[in-house]
């Protein structure tokens, strides 16, 4: 169990680093992604892991999802992020939290096909 927790912690830090580096690039390009990415990672990372079926996110995750500019954050998803998270689960969580991504929204190689 301890090894599993260590792997989860490393996964969270890796995703945080990748997303925050994208966020810094966004700021450098004068793009302002609303919301706190560290809260998004902290509250929602368990729900977007590649393994396992989609599960309804926590209320705390939905609060963060409703506050973040998802299409803006989506622009900074990289191939490395796509190796770690399930974009299908990201779309599911956004819809579940009543902030669906519009069809045609592009997140690296993933394109949302339906809301």
Provide the mean pLDDT of the chain. Answer: 78
Task: Say what the pTM is.
Answer: 0.70
Domains and CATH numbers, the chain: 2-111 (1.10.110.10)
Q: pLDDT digit string (tens) for 80-104?
A: 989 999 999 999 999 999 999 999 9
Please report the pLDDT score of residue 62 as a whole number.
Answer: 97
- The reported pLDDT for the residue numbered 30 is 40
Rg (CA), the chain: 13
* Residue 11 exposure: Cα atoms within 13 Å on the Cβ side: 19
pLDDT > 90: what percent of the chain? 47
What one-character-per-residue DSSP string does the chain give?
Answer: -HHHHHHHHHHHHHHHHHHHHHHHHHHHTT----S-HHHHHHHHGGGSBSSS---PPPHHHHHHHHHS-HHHHHTT--HHHHHHB-HHHHHHHHHHTT-PPPTT-EETTEE----
pLDDT of residue 49: 93
């Amino acid at each position: 169990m301890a090894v599993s927790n260590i792997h989860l912690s490393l996964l969270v830090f890796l995703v945080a680093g990748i997303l925050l580096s994208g966020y810094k690039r966004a700021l450098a390009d004068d793009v302002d992604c609303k919301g706190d990415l560290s809260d998004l990672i902290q509250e929602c990372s368990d729900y977007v892991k590649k393994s396992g079926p989609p599960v309804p996110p926590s209320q705390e995750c939905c609060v963060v999802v409703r506050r973040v500019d998802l299409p803006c954050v989506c622009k900074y998803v990289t191939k490395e992020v796509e190796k770690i998270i399930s974009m299908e689960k990201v779309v599911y969580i956004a819809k579940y939290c009543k902030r669906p991504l519009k069809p045609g929204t592009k997140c690296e190689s993933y394109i949302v096909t339906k809301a």
